[in-house]
C-alpha cells in the first residue's frame, strides 16, 4: 500500500547548526509533498511544500528538495534556533477532483539546544 | 488561529458512551478530513468529504461515524469505543481539488 518513511525519528542539534530530515514515498502518483511542524500541544502547521514539477524550493531558513526518480524528498533547516524545536511531519499526496489525499511520515522530533 | 476550529478540545468517555466531535472551518473550503494521531504513529487519514459527500473511508471501524451536513461543518460520532481509540483527532480542510490542507487544533480523546 501507500507508504511514507521518515528518518530520523529524533534529531538533536546545537543552535546555529543545520538539520536535515529525509522521507521516501512509495506511490509514484504522488505529486505534492508538504512539510508540517507540530509544536507540543498544538496543531500541525504547514511550513513549506513542493510539487513534483520542481526539484527545490526555499523559504528563508527552510528548504525542501525532491528527487522524483528516487522517490525521496528532504527538509533542510539552516541556522537552527530553539524555537525550531518541534515534531516535523512529511507527507506525500496527490490531488483528485474531490480533494487531496495525504500519507504522512512517522514524524521527526527535532530538539535545538541553545 | 480561527480558520479551523474543533470542539471539544478534550473529551473523556466510557466505552458505552456516545459522543460527537465537531469541526468547523471558516476558510471557504469545501473538502474536509478526519485524521487520528496516536503516540508514536503517523497521522492516519480516516475520512474525506468533498462537497458534503464522503469520498474516502480508510477502513475505519463502524464505531466511528462521520457526518458532513454542509461544507463548513464536519462531525465524528463516537459510540462503544475501545481504550485503543484514545488519541488526538484532527480535522483538516482544503479547497476542492486542492492538496493544501489546514488543520484544526484537535480533540484529545481518552476512552476509559
- The 10s digit of each residue's pLDDT in A56-102 is 999 999 999 999 999 999 999 999 999 999 999 999 987 665 566 78
Q: Which of B43, B49, B102 lies nearest to residue A89, judging by beta carbons?
A: B43
pLDDT, tens digit, 9 for 90 and up, residues B6-61: 999 999 998 888 999 999 999 999 889 999 999 877 889 899 888 777 777 778 99
Whether residue A49 contacts residue A92, with contact meaning beta carbons closer than 8 Å, is answered with no
pLDDT at A76: 98
Closest to B65 (Cα-Cα) out of B35, B20, B106: B20
- Give all strands (DSSP E) within A15-71, no chain letters: 19-25, 32-38, 45-51, 56-59, 62-67
| Interface test with chain B among A98, A103, A105, by most B beta carbons within 10 Å | A98
With beta carbons under 8 A apart, name residues in chain A contacting B90: 43-44
Pick from A68, A34, A66, A70: nearest CA to A49: A34
Give residue B12's pLDDT: 95
- The alpha carbons of chain B give a radius of gyration, in whole angstroms, of 13
Amino acid at each position: 500500500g501507500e507508504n511514507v518513511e521518515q528518518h530520523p525519528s529524533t534529531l538533536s542539534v546545537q543552535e546555529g547548526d543545520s538539520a536535515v530530515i529525509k522521507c521516501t514515498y512509495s506511490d509514484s502518483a504522488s505529486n505534492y509533498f508538504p512539510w508540517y511542524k507540530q509544536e507540543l500541544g498544538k496543531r500541525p502547521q504547514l511550513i513549506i511544500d513542493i510539487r513534483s514539477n520542481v526539484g527545490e524550493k526555499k523559504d528563508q531558513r527552510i528548504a525542501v528538495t525532491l528527487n522524483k526518480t528516487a522517490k525521496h524528498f528532504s527538509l533542510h533547516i539552516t541556522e537552527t534556533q530553539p524555537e525550531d524545536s518541534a515534531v516535523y511531519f512529511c507527507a506525500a499526496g496527490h490531488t483528485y477532483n474531490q480533494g487531496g489525499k495525504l500519507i504522512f511520515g512517522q514524524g521527526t522530533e527535532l530538539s535545538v539546544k541553545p | 488561529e480561527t480558520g479551523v476550529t474543533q470542539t471539544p478540545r478534550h473529551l473523556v468517555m466510557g466505552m458505552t458512551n456516545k459522543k460527537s466531535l465537531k469541526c468547523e472551518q471558516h476558510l471557504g473550503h469545501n473538502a474536509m478530513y478526519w485524521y487520528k494521531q496516536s503516540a508514536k504513529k503517523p497521522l492516519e487519514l480516516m475520512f474525506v468529504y468533498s462537497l458534503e459527500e464522503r469520498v474516502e473511508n480508510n477502513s475505519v471501524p463502524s464505531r466511528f461515524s462521520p457526518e458532513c451536513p454542509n461544507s463548513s461543518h464536519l462531525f465524528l460520532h463516537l459510540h462503544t469505543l475501545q481504550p485503543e481509540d484514545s488519541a488526538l483527532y484532527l480535522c483538516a480542510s482544503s479547497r476542492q481539488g486542492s492538496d493544501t490542507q489546514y488543520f484544526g487544533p484537535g480533540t484529545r480523546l481518552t476512552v476509559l
